[in-house]
Amino acid sequence: MTAFGHLWRSSRTLSRNARLYLIGTFLMGLGHGSLWVHMNLYFRTLGMGEATIGRILSAGSLGMVLISIPAALWIDRFSAQSVFMLAAAGFAGAFLVQLLLPYPGVLIFAAMATGMLFTVHWVAAAPFFVRNSTAEQRTELFGFASAVETLATVLSAFGAGLAAKRIAEHLGSEVLGLRYALSGVAFLTALAVIPFARIRSAPPTAERRGWRAYVLARDYRLLGKICLPSFLVGCGAGLTIPFLNLYFRDRFDQDPQQIGSFYAVAQILMMAGFLLGPLLARRLNHVRAIVTTELLSIPFFLILALADRLWLAVLAFWFRGALMNMNQPVSSAFAMEIVPADHQTATNSLRMLAWNLSWMVTAPLGGWLIERYGFTPNMVGTMGLYLAAASLFWIFFRRFRVEQERPTSGSTRSGG
C-alpha cells in the first residue's frame, strides 16, 4: 500500500505538459498495441508465412534505425508538441495503409513508416521528460509513460480482438473482422494529435547541432557500454517476441480473441512491473534492479520452449513479460542520468538505434527459423542472448550510481 501511495502522490505532482503527454501516449498506445498484438494475425489470415511476416517486421525495424539520428536533430529544431503531433498523425495514417492496401511492397513501406514515426515519438520523450520533471520525479515519469502505453495495449489487445471476432461472425470473414476492428483503432490513435497540440513546451535550444554532434559522441566508451547490452537484448527479443502470437495460434490453436485476452493480462502485469520497477530500483539500485529482472525472466523462456500445455505456456508468457519489461523505465532513466545533459537526446537515439538494428537483423532470421524448425530453437537462442546482456551490463555498470542512490565509496558515477 505504501508503494502505490508513493506512486499516487508522485502522479499528482506531474506538470501539465507531462499529463498531456501521457494522454496522447495512451491514444498512441492503442494503435501500437493493436499493431503489436493483432497485425501479425491479420497478415496470417491473408495467407502470409512467418518468413514474409518477418521481412515486414524487419522493415519496421529498418525504419526505426534510419530515423533514430534524424529524429534527434529534429527534436533540437522543432517544439515538442510539433514533433509529437507529426508522429501521431503519421503513425495512424501508416497503420491504416497496412490494413487497406495489403500488398507486399506497400506493407513493407507502411511498416517502415510506422517504425519511423513511433521512434520519433519515443526519441522525443526522454528529453521532454527531463525538461518537464524534477530529478525526483523522473524515474517515476518514465514508469508512468510505460504504464500508460501498456494500459492502452491491454484495452486494444482485448477490445480489438473481441471486436474482430464479433465482426467476423457477422460478416463471415476473419480478414474483414480484423481489418474493420483495427481500422477503428487507427482512428482512435489519430486523436492523440489533440492533447499533443495543447502542450506548451519551451522553444528549441538556440544551439543547433549538426548530425556529427550526435554521431561523434563525447564518451565513446560509455556510449558503447550503454548500447551493447541493449543490442544483445534486442537480438534475443527479435528472434522470438514478434512471433509469440503466432506461437499461441499454431501450437495451441487459439483464435484472435483468445490471444488478445492473453496479451491483455500480460500487459496488465507488465504495467504493474513498469510502476514497481522504479521502486525496486530505489531498493536495490538501478543496476541491480535491471540485471535481476533480466535474469529472472530467462527460465520462463525455457518453459515456453518446452510447454505442451496451454495454461503453462500462458503463465510463462505472462511472467516473462512482467519481469523483462520491469526494467525498461529504470534503464531509460539510468541512461539519461549517467550522460551529460547535452548528450541525452543523442544517447536516447543511439540506444533505440542499437535496439532496432538488432531487431532488423533477427526478426527475419527468427521467422525463417520458425518456419523450418519451430519455436524452440529461437527461444533457446533468446535465453543465451539475454544472459549475455545481463552479464555485460553488470560488468560495465556495477559501480555506477545515479543521484537518487546512495553512493558507495569511490564509485559514484564512475566507469565500471
Count CB-CB contacts under 10 A for residue 312.
Answer: 13
Alpha-carbon radius of gyration of the chain:
20
Residue 110: band (very low, low, confident or very high) from pLDDT cuts 50, 70, 90: very high
Q: Looking at residues 258-267, what average pLDDT do you find?
A: 82
Residue 167: band (very low, low, confident or very high) from pLDDT cuts 50, 70, 90: very high
Q: Tell me, yes or no, if the pTM score tops 0.75.
A: no
How many Å apart are CA 157 and CA 379, to the nearest integer? 23
Residue 5: band (very low, low, confident or very high) from pLDDT cuts 50, 70, 90: very low
pLDDT at 402 over 60: no
- pLDDT tens by residue, 173-209: 888 999 999 999 999 999 999 999 998 876 555 455 5
How many Å apart are CA 122 and CA 305, to the nearest integer? 32
| Residue 199 three-state SS | coil
Within 13 Å and on the Cβ side, how many CA atoms surround 144? 27
pLDDT at 68 over 70: no
Extract the C-alpha cell encoding 181.
476492428
CA 88 to chain centre: 16
Across 54-68, 88-102, 248-262, 302-316, least confident range: 54-68
**127 Cβ contact partners less than 8 Å away, ≥ 6 residues apart:** 75, 344, 345, 348
The CA-CA-CA angle for residues 277, 152, 116, to 5°, reads 90
Structural domains in the chain? 13-199+215-397 (1.20.1250.20)
* Percentage with pLDDT > 90 across the chain: 22
pLDDT at 125 over 90: no
pLDDT at 114 over 80: yes
| Whole-number pLDDT of residue 195 | 93
**147 Cβ contact partners less than 8 Å away, ≥ 6 residues apart:** 271, 274, 275
Residue 91's alpha-carbon distances to 27, 29, 62, 84, 111, in angstroms, are 11, 11, 15, 10, 10
pLDDT at 245 over 80: yes
| Whole-number pLDDT of residue 353 | 76
pLDDT at 159 over 50: yes
Extract the C-alpha cell encoding 324.
523483462
Extract the C-alpha cell encoding 61.
525495424
How many Å apart are CA 269 and CA 300, to the nearest integer? 15
In the chain, how long is the greatest CA-to-CA distance?
68
Extract the C-alpha cell encoding 404.
537518487
**248 Cβ contact partners less than 8 Å away, ≥ 6 residues apart:** 254, 258, 259, 262, 313, 317
pLDDT at 118 over 50: yes
Residue 135: band (very low, low, confident or very high) from pLDDT cuts 50, 70, 90: low
Across 80-84, 187-191, 338-342, least confident range: 338-342
pLDDT at 6 over 50: no
| Whole-number pLDDT of residue 310 | 94
pLDDT at 147 over 90: no
Residue 334: band (very low, low, confident or very high) from pLDDT cuts 50, 70, 90: confident
* Percentage with pLDDT > 70 across the chain: 83
Report which of residues 281 and 301 the model is more confident about. 301
Sign of torsion over alpha carbons 115, 118, 124, 125: negative
How many Å apart are CA 38 and CA 176, to the nearest integer? 13
Whose CA is closest to 262, among 273, 252, 242, 248?
248
Q: Looking at residues 346-362, what average pLDDT do you find?
A: 78
How many Å apart are CA 115 and CA 221, to the nearest integer? 28
| Whole-number pLDDT of residue 179 | 92
pLDDT at 29 over 80: yes
| Whole-number pLDDT of residue 138 | 64
Average pLDDT, the chain: 80
Extract the C-alpha cell encoding 107.
506493407
Whose CA is closest to 339, among 126, 197, 136?
126
